[in-house]
Structure 1
Amino acid sequence: MTQNRRPPAPHPAERARTIAARGGRAALLPSDGTEHRVVPVLHHVHASGEATLVLPDEHPLTRAASGAEVTAMLEIADHAAVQLREPVRGLLWITGWLRTLDARQARAASLEVADHRPDPRLLDVGHGASVLRLSPASLVVADAEGTTSLRPELFAQADPDPFHQHEDHWLRHLELSHRDVVGLLGRHLPDELRGGHIRPLGVDRLGLRLRVETEAEDHDVRIAFSQPVATPNELAVELRRLMGCPFLAQRG
């Protein structure tokens, strides 16, 4: 009996690093039994899995984490680049110990974040805003490929996808200006999904993801490239191949 093999996908640690690097919407969930979601002024996840967060000085969590470490979970939602009925395509949870940094540590942490992500909100640190650091104990990534628990060292060893900084722009361009291309890519879908509304959902070094919206539900489908890609030119070659343009693929 022939079994359908799932198309290859990036390792869970790589997918987690990509969600972190994209810097989606975040919420802190303190383990105080209240289930209150705290939206930080700013968040940044470092390669180690540690997270730097900015909260107002007067926030109860800022005060609570000043005297002792507080157990908390940071949730980061990876939103699709195009407008979808269900926009969240992945989640990353980082559970660990949260503490408020002193003034010297806060300045150093702000400069470190600014090196990676310049943001004017960092200027409020020391002027009504405090910096907190979340040290990870464990991480969990959840998306269409599944849900996986990760050790911090495994997260730190992975790299984000090479296209994560440009993915949103490419997908919006496909959606708005190249619906014909999206239609051609739809020929790789299972027969039972070809009548749905096909949307570009994601692209990474191993393949393309499409969201198929039907009247009843949504389906995420991964279409594998013939080989891993690392540059925009290599990506263009694979997309042309998937469109059924072998001559154009050879020219890429």
Structure 2
Amino acid sequence: MTDIQTRRPPAPHAAERARTIAARGGQAALLPQAGTRTSPLLHHVHPCGTTLLLLPEEHPLVGQLWQAPRTEVTAMLEIADQAPVALREPVRGLLWLTGWVTALQDEEAREAVLAVADVRPDHRLLDAGHGAAVLRLTPASLVIADAEGTSSIRPDQFTSAQPDPFFREEDHWLRHLEASHHDVVGQLARHLPEELRGGHVRPLGLDRFGLRLRVEGETDDHDVRIAFSRPVSTPQELAGELRRLMGCPFLAQR
């Protein structure tokens, strides 16, 4: 996908986008350096990038980690950022965390599980030590790939960033826009480049810098960012910017 303007609209920087994908959760897959791709029972990425994983106790990777002496395994965790509406290409971004996986036990495992429960209560955490092993991924590097581009991120950059202020509400708002406000989507679609106006316009994403649309054509898709006049941080500011965009959008195609 190419720009139709030399000036690209402002967008969240890579570390912020990575923190947002991590905070949303998404679908995860663990890929050990030597082993097969597997889906954790649960994963949780802390603000520092350290990630708690639950795997079935009988999983071969768990057995490998508990070999004497205890070992670390190099692995990559892939987190897919899924669009909140049903698109034919539903993954709108990928985050990869590469580092070392270790197995936790006893008090260390309990403390790790409680630290997650404090911020993200989940019934699956009750399986820790009862059929599920507790693992920890310590990242050495992170990479994000989405419509804004592909970027490498250092762990300290990830830690210093914040997730988008609307990440918790975004899915609900976009589903509501898709289901109940075709008129709004239609108004935005009038400002698309001429070559995209015959496509099927869908809400794709929302962040403090703007709204993203997916235009599904007959043979390919195009992602379009419509920028706000300034970054927003509250629902009231967001509503004002959306009203403004109904009259004068600033957009670019990717």
TM-score (norm 2): 0.93
SS at match of 1:147: strand
Contact 1:188 1:223 in 2 (8 A): no
SS at match of 1:91: strand
Paired position in structure 1 for 2:96? 93
Which of 155, 158, 178 is matched with 1:155 structurally? 158
Paired position in structure 1 for 2:48? 48
Distance 1:20 1:45 in 2: 6
Which of 8, 11, 15 is matched with 2:10 structurally? 8
Distance 1:164 1:65 in 2: 35
Distance 1:209 1:200 in 2: 7
1:69-106 Cα offsets, whole Å, 9 max, x none, are: 00000000000000000000000000000000012111
Runs of 4+ in 1 over 6 A off after TM superposition: none
Gaps of 5+ in 1: 246-252
Which of 28, 33, 37 is matched with 1:26 structurally? 28
SS at match of 1:188: coil
- Cα drift, residue 3 of structure 1: 5.8
RMSD over aligned CA atoms reads 1.2
Distance 1:13 1:172 in 2: 26
Paired residue type of 1:207: G
Distance 2:5 2:219 in 1: 27
- Cα drift, residue 189 of structure 1: 1.5
Paired residue type of 1:17: R
Paired residue type of 2:11: A
Work out whether 1:77 is the aligned partner of 2:72: no
Paired residue type of 2:159: A
Distance 1:212 1:50 in 2: 36
Work out whether 1:189 is the aligned partner of 2:192: yes
TM-score (norm 1): 0.94
Paired position in structure 2 for 1:103? 106
- Cα drift, residue 188 of structure 1: 2.7
Paired position in structure 2 for 1:63? 63
Work out whether 1:211 is the aligned partner of 2:214: yes
Distance 1:52 1:188 in 2: 44
Taking only the aligned residue pairs, the percentage that are identical comes to 71
Gaps of 5+ in 2: 249-254
Deviates further, 225-234 or 179-188: 179-188
Paired position in structure 1 for 2:169? 166
1:32-69 Cα offsets, whole Å, 9 max, x none, are: 1x4x2110000000000111000111111112123200
Distance 2:98 2:190 in 1: 41
SS at match of 1:163: coil
Distance 1:100 1:63 in 2: 10
SS at match of 1:153: helix
